[in-house]
Amino acid sequence: MQKALAELIKISNSLGKDPALVQAGSGNISVKSDDGEHMFIKATGTALKDMTVNAGWRRMNMSAAISIIFDPALAKMPADLRQQRVNARMLLACDDGLDGGAGPSIEALLHAMFEKFTVHLHPDSVSAFVNSVEGKSRIEKLYKDEKYPPLWIPYANPGLALAKTILKLTAVYKKQYKKAPTVLFLEKHGLLVTAKTAAAAGRITRSVANQCEAKLKQFKAGKKLNIDAEIVTAAKLSIRKAFFEATGKYNSVSYFCDEKIAAFMALKNAPEMLKPGALAPDELCYANGPALWIEKPDAKKIMKKIAAKISRGLNPYLAYIVKGVGLFVIGHGRTAETIREITLSSLFIRANAFKMGGMLTLSKSQQDYVKVFEGGKSESSSDELAGRISIVTGGGSGIGRSLAVGLARAGATVAIADIDVAAANKTAEQIMADIPNAAVVVTPCNVTNADSVKASFDTLLETFGGLDILVNAAGVAPAYPLTDIPVDKWRFAMEVNLTGYFLMAQQTASILLKQDMGGSMIMISSKSGLEASKNNTPYNASKAGQIHMARGWALELGPNGIRVNSVCPGNVFEGSKIWNPKYIAQCAKKNGIKPEEVIPFYVNKTCLRREIKGQDIADAVVFLASDRSRTVTGQTIVADSGQVMVR
């Protein structure tokens, strides 16, 4: 048993790391135990290169798996109900003791019918043939002198239908050649190789891929384009706006442009090659079909094309090729990389299939089947701020850290802007530990410096392609009696607490207006901005100024759907740089108490007698950033446990 599993991991990792053979999480490999009673196979949703002894596989009882193929009762059921029943029974056939998690690959049944090692991949070179009109005839010509030629399998829907088609045609092959086929070309499904040893399976797979590649026209790599950042940003904002208008969903937009993309864009018939629908299940599942060709990034025109596709019962485009600029994909990080890989593979396949009589694409009914049964991903999310892009100043510590974490927990993409990069990185690490799939970037930023602020937003746009939420939280609180305030401390407080908020808001407003999707700007003020505190002149003045700036911006930006509000926290002690030992000592002296009595003293000044935590402020910010506050602007939420009453 352990030997079979070890062999599965080894061959999966080896072949799965070759981009010419495997794209993203596609492909399936299985290994049977020596006694033939069990089969180890890749689990759904796992990339071959990521499989380990501890994850990414399932073990199936062979008798239970094969009984599914030959069950006559299944043939009498409607196709949709039949595959549901099959999926349930494949899960029951797993006897590995793993509870929950992903089930075995939907193609597990066809693996059960072959030799100990079965490899089912989608090499680009093979896919060019199995997705082209002349593919079958060209493969027959390529292997006409072989004693045991490959077996061509016409398209069948994934799962039981494909397994039964292969079973039937394999029986015919055996009758003719007195042995089972070693190599199968699966129309729109790629390549299947079966062998008695891992070495043979890997060698044959690579050999077939190389033989096919030798018969294809190798396109000359294009010159990598050096596109101005402003052009890329404008295209990102247009695509993001169009996607939002057509789907109602927020998302990041990533940009790619290499020699392969440049070469495809230079092809005379490039737009025509992208017009046909999805070539194969993987392209449909991972990228919702081919990329959309865009002559010029006009949000309205793009939106209409997305909406037209949705009206046909299809999922929206996730990849966009802007003529002369490059590839844009909906998503960030691993999601964007997956769509990029699948799209690059599609471009290669389409260019070659186009020269072989045209492309074979999935019909509408075939696409509907794949979406339901091969794991077409859901775009829905229960996260309140899913897909929205935020930037938080002062996110490296104190309230700012709590706000960055709170936004990420609500599903938002987060840029942490802080002059203390080490502290910001710790916040990012905390977010990733708490929410492994979160999208986070650290943008070094001195909020008092216009160039630094601009650079921070440039990083944000380069990484995520848009913006929805600004949270101004960076702040300082030099506490002195009026007669003792050093003028440099006064000016420093004004620079950080007012100029910093202004510069961040100015850049945010510029982006939100260009993007034209509304947005939310939130100023973290203080209860001291409403009711002055003793010996705190710079803080009192700057915090009151923040509230008033926000009100003015709300009036100015409201017609564009941009809401601007303030949150006035009470005293938040946890993780605060403001409430440092020196500041606590000053507060103790001011109130005639001991330093250790300061926190209980301020907590007892509230109506609720409840210490305010960072998450309390984060909850208020998430509310103001969400659609629940869609009619709230120019307002101030006081989250201070009832210490200050707003009149």
Active site residues: 539
CA distance 40 to 146: 31
CA distance 531 to 172: 88
Contacts of 364 (CB under 8 A, 6+ apart): 312, 313
Angle, vertex CA 435, rays to CA 431 and CA 436, nearest 5: 105
| Pair 188, 133: CB distance under 8 Å | no
- The residue among 30, 47, 22, 5 whose CA lies nearest residue 117 is 30
β-sheet with 413-418: strand ranges across: 440-444, 413-418, 389-393, 469-472, 519-524, 562-569, 636-639
**Closest C-alpha among 25, 19, 66 to residue 44:** 25
418-440 b/e (C-beta count within 10 Å ≥ 16 → b): bbbeebbebbbeebeeebeebbb
Cα–Cα distance, 503 to 518 (Å, whole number): 19
DSSP 71: -
Sheet containing strand 151-153, strands side by side: 57-61, 38-42, 28-32, 117-121, 190-195, 183-186, 151-153
Q: How far apart are CA 85 and CA 261, in angstroms?
A: 42
CB-CB contact of 65 with 108 (8 Å): yes
SS3 of 572, please?
strand
Give the start-end residues of each E strand in 200-287: 253-256
Contact 535, 587 (CB under 8 A): no
**Phi/psi zone of residue 277: left (φ > 0), alpha (ψ -120 to 50 degrees), beta?**
beta
* Half-sphere CA count of 500, side-chain side, radius 13 A: 29
Token couple for 420 = 């203390």
Coil vs helix vs strand at 68: helix
Q: How far is residue 498's CA from residue 448's CA, in Å, rounded to a whole number? A: 9
Strand, coil or helix: 493: helix
Angle between the 62-69 and 79-92 helix axes, to the nearest 10 degrees? 170
Q: How far is CA 602 from CA 7, 117, 575, 578, 584, in A?
A: 64, 70, 16, 15, 11
Compute φ and ψ for 619, nearest 5 degrees: -60, -40
Exposure string over 505-520, b if 16+ CB within 10 A, otherwise e: bebbbebbeebbbebb
Which of 450, 461, 480, 494 is CA-nearest to residue 254? 461
- Cβ count near 141 (within 10 Å): 11
Report residue 616 as tokens.
């309390």
In the block, tokens 């309140």 appear at: 384
In total, the chain counts a number of residues equal to 647
